[in-house]
A and B are shown apart, each in its own frame.
Chain A
Amino acid sequence: MEILKYAIYRFGTMLLTLLVVSVLVFAIINLPPGDYLSNQIAELQATGQSAGVAKAEFLRQEYALDKPLWQQYMIWMGFMPGPHGFSGMIQGNFGWSFEFDSPVADIVGDTLWLTVLVNLAAVLFVYAVALPLGVLAAARARTWVDYTSAFVGYLGLATPNFLLALILFYYGHRWFDLPIGGLMDPMFEDMPMTWEKVKSILTHLIVPTFVIGTAGASAMMQRLRANMLDELGKPYVETAIAKGMKSSRMLAKYPLRVAFNPFVADIGNLLPSMISGSVLVSVVLGLQTIGPSLLQALKSQDMFLSGFVLMFVALLTLIGTMVSDVLLVLLDPRIRYEGRGA
């Protein structure tokens, strides 16, 4: 029950944070002088195309860009009626992308969940690889097991992602007949979900997951190893051995539980760093994730699109932090009982 209360409380603070973030995001995308439309109007006027100017002027009014900044924000968020009544983020209207000349929702549509999918797969990969290897490296510290895993890990950390991507594509295709580029076969794009489509997506996921996850996995592995080594020297480990515990069981029950905390706390950080880190990989691999759209939108000052993408990344981060906070409270009684008083 306590935990449910805490989760609700954390959800409330998350919403508040999101509100603050929205102000920041809006401020940041408005920091560069001008906006997409005024740039375009200036360009059109310079080349003397007055018809385009009229359309751009119409769009300016349509999207309330002629209003003061704070009103623009309120309209964008949907706290204030704009030219079309209440129609903002909270009403589910994400705005218009000037660059692509279509609603933001249509542009990001599919890529949203594909982004989540790719990054979730990468996070799972990170944990699945780093956990056993880190524990093994600590338990067999200063033996060949430790040195080999450290060597492979540093290789993973040091190899540029795009290079790794190219190598994996080449050999993956040659030896395992893995597809190259994209997140699904082109024939499935815009098709309804079928078993075939799922299979295609899964096979396309293998290489990107590996590429995006390697660096994170090796960093996490080394940290887990260091944490575990710290814990292994603690007296409670000796106590467990003195009870007559098998060392493998002891490792999993005692030191790992303690060493695990930082990794749970990391979930929140992992998501955004992977999304921003995977932009380059997505471009190289031709993944339909949100990263390339963000890059494009920021470059052309396509404010509603970039604003939406930034908000989305912020939301993912906040959800990640919330999940890790709630998990930590579940995992660690010291956090759970903190403040309960002695």
Chain B
Amino acid sequence: MRPLLTVENLSIGFGKGEPVVKDVSFAVQPGETLALVGESGSGKTISCRAALRILPKAAQLRTGRILLETRGQSLDLATLDERRMRDVRGNIVSMIFQEPMRSLSPLHRIGNQVSEVLWLHGRKSERAARKEVLECFERVGFPDPERTYRSYPFELSGGMRQRAMIAMAMVAKPDLLIADEPTTALDVTTQAQVLGLMKELQRETGMAMILVTHDLGVVANMAEQVVVMHKGRVMEAGPAEPMLRAPAHPYTRALFDAAPEIPDEAVVAIPPSRDDLIMEMKSVSKTYTLRASKGWQAPTLIHACREIDLRVTRGETLAIVGESGSGKTTAARIALGAELPDPGGEVLFHPAAGQPPIAVHDMDRATRTAFQRRAQMVFQDPYSSLSPRMRIQDTLVEPLEIHGIGSRSERRDKAAEMLRLVGLSPNMLKRYPHAFSGGQRQRLSIARALMLDPALIVCDEPTSALDVSVQEQILKLLEEIRDQQNLSYLFISHDLAVVARIADEVAVMRRGLIVEQAPPETLFYNPQHPYTKALIAAQPEPDIDRPIDLNLVAQGAGAPECWPEEFRFNGIQAPPLVNLSHLEAGHKVRCHA
């Protein structure tokens, strides 16, 4: 069989510089999925975009051919003129982008944006196009296609928007779909469902797919062929199964080693001791009031957090896991005193063993300052949490200046010391953030959090913006520092595999409630709650023998009203958190006993 798309010796460069993609070749057979795997900067995105010639303005296709063989014609997409290129785009080859939030125009209705593909390729009258789009919406899983047709993107959730993008890419029945990290921005359960949908659609229509991803778990679930790229070159290429079982190239092996995994063997877990706590949250709830648009309607109450009871033991890590909107970040913000809990809730902070606790939401100025020195935060996005206008040195010494600690030279010494601690060199102090990579920036954020010698650090998804290999390094660093400095972490994440590695105790949140809580080994070996099961099942594993179980995902990730009888809850009527100590120590689950 002749390949549908053949890329030969592709080189792409910017300006006069070295090419960023060098001599890349691969081929996609009709109906097959090829995964382009690599870290950021590996050139995987730019290679796949070259096929549609959607490249940054300054990029030049230097050498190579991109041959498309379909519908009885053979086209070289690298040199095809713009007018004929437009006939290919969206019609023969279509594309899905990474950020469903921003890839749809906010000002046009979904139906208009999707039907446009059919209008552009001149095959359909407006009525016929509408009918076809509605069918497509139904196929990609919109419960009410008519309503979706009229909706604006901001009225849909992230997963639904990505479904709309998929509908847009599929509606013209292309021969090849290029998906550029289509699920990276989605929650893990949504990701599983979207991947499942893409696979089903592919089976139905027989189209080929190029899947660009950094996640080997996604590759194992989706691809027949794999191309591993690094620094613009192909490292390893071949059929997925043998490569995933026995990667040959050292770089591929390194990628595998870095990928975090959920352990699947039983380990006897020791629940964290409860005698030396650093932080306690006692029945903390947070309700936001959305003012109604019409005066006579009652305001909508949003229960971001409900009755959260959590304890962080000194020197250990408590992880809160959940999808976006589960209330995990709100809980962390309350723990740091950035938000006030509803009356009745209380957060206690114990600065040191044996000292009287501080009530975080009832502090005078002096205690607040003292508290801020002991509790710090590392943020999710290392790109926007460092001021681009401040040198690293200024960023690092700023906390000391605010708290009036030390002399100028002492502050500078401290900054140099912290840089060394996080694995950077003190001669980087004079640089600006833009001179650092994502991983280095996250190290800088950690160094900044450490400047005040805190006892507790709240980490809000500190690795979710990073590549796997960098994520691995950051997690290692966090562990080292914790053990060395006797730190405690409140670790917020949506990624069970990351949590499995670093946490001593895990609390799973859904709709503002903790649904299950246990040490990670217990939780992963013997999950009780359908939602926890769904989270674990949805986690793509780089193991070809463990595909995602979509039924389990669908059941647990659905609405709480559809959970099995014993776990079900309606509105704000939720079953209590039951202690399962008879099963395993420290295991709690929310169910009707």
Nearest-CB residue, chain B, relative to A236: B105
Query: Once the chains bind, are A244 and B117 in contact (CB under 8 Å)?
Result: yes
Segment of A56-64, A104-112, A332-340 in the binding face: A332-340
Residue from A245, A258, A334 within 8 A of B154 (CB atoms): A334
The B interface is mostly helix, strand or loop, or mixed, namely loop
A254: which B residues are within 8 A, CB to CB? 105, 107-108
- Name the residue among B107, B155, B292 with the largest chain A CB count within 10 angstroms: B107
Query: Once the chains bind, are B107 and A244 in contact (CB under 8 Å)?
Result: no
Supposing A236-B105, A254-B105 touch, asked if A341 and B90 sit within 8 A by C-beta, the answer is no
Query: Once the chains bind, are A244 and B152 in contact (CB under 8 Å)?
Result: no
Task: Say how far B483's CB is from chain A's closest CB, in angstroms.
Answer: 42
Q: Is A24 an interface residue (CB 8 A)?
A: no
B97: which A residues are within 8 A, CB to CB? 235, 238-239, 242
A337: which B residues are within 8 A, CB to CB? 152, 154-155
Assembly CA distance A254 to B116 (angstroms): 12
Query: Once the chains bind, are B54 and A245 in contact (CB under 8 Å)?
Result: no
Nearest-CB residue, chain A, relative to B171: A243
Assembly CA distance A277 to B109 (angstroms): 41
Residue from A235, A240, A257 within 8 A of B107 (CB atoms): A257
A257: which B residues are within 8 A, CB to CB? 105, 107-108
**Within B24-46, which residues are at the interface with A (CB < 8 Å)?**
none
Query: Once the chains bind, are B106 and A258 in contact (CB under 8 Å)?
Result: yes
Task: Say how far A249's CB is from chain B's closest CB, in angstroms.
Answer: 9
Query: Once the chains bind, are B102 and A236 in contact (CB under 8 Å)?
Result: yes
A338: which B residues are within 8 A, CB to CB? 293
B293: which A residues are within 8 A, CB to CB? 338-341
Task: Say how far A52's CB is from chain B's closest CB, in angstroms.
Answer: 59
Nearest-CB residue, chain B, relative to A243: B90
Supposing A239-B103, A242-B95, A258-B106 touch, asked if A341 and B89 sit within 8 A by C-beta, the answer is no
A240: which B residues are within 8 A, CB to CB? 105
Query: Once the chains bind, are B107 and A333 in contact (CB under 8 Å)?
Result: yes
Query: Once the chains bind, are A245 and B120 in contact (CB under 8 Å)?
Result: yes
A239: which B residues are within 8 A, CB to CB? 95, 97, 103-105, 165, 168
Assembly CA distance A254 to B107 (angstroms): 8
Q: Is A174 an interface residue (CB 8 A)?
A: no
B146-170 vs A, CB cutoff 8 Å, 1 = contact: the mask equals 0000001011000000000100100
B82-103 vs A, CB cutoff 8 Å, 1 = contact: the mask equals 0000111111001101110011
B54: which A residues are within 8 A, CB to CB? 238, 241-242
Interface size class for chain B? Answer: 35 or more
A242: which B residues are within 8 A, CB to CB? 52, 54, 89-90, 94-95, 97
B91: which A residues are within 8 A, CB to CB? 244
Query: Once the chains bind, are A238 and B88 in contact (CB under 8 Å)?
Result: no
Assembly CA distance A107 to B86 (angstroms): 63
A341: which B residues are within 8 A, CB to CB? 290, 292-293, 300
Q: Is B203 an interface residue (CB 8 A)?
A: no
Q: Is A299 an interface residue (CB 8 A)?
A: no
Q: Is A310 an interface residue (CB 8 A)?
A: no
B49-80 vs A, CB cutoff 8 Å, 1 = contact: the mask equals 00010100000000000000000000000000
Q: Is B253 an interface residue (CB 8 A)?
A: no
Listed in ascending order, the chain A residues whose CB lies under 8 Å from chain B are 234-236, 238-246, 253-254, 257-258, 331-334, 337-341
A-B contact pairs, 17 of them (CB 8 A): A235-B99, A235-B102, A236-B102, A238-B103, A239-B103, A241-B89, A242-B97, A243-B90, A243-B116, A244-B86, A244-B87, A244-B121, A245-B116, A246-B86, A257-B107, A339-B292, A339-B293
A332-B107, A341-B293 given; 7 more Cβ-contact pairs under 8 Å: A235-B99, A236-B106, A238-B103, A239-B103, A244-B91, A257-B108, A339-B292
Listed in ascending order, the chain B residues whose CB lies under 8 Å from chain A are 52, 54, 86-91, 94-95, 97-99, 102-109, 116-117, 120-121, 152, 154-155, 165, 168, 290-293, 300
A-B interface, 10 closest residue pairs, ranked by CB to CB distance from nearest: A244-B89, A339-B293, A243-B90, A244-B90, A242-B95, A235-B103, A244-B86, A236-B105, A235-B102, A333-B152
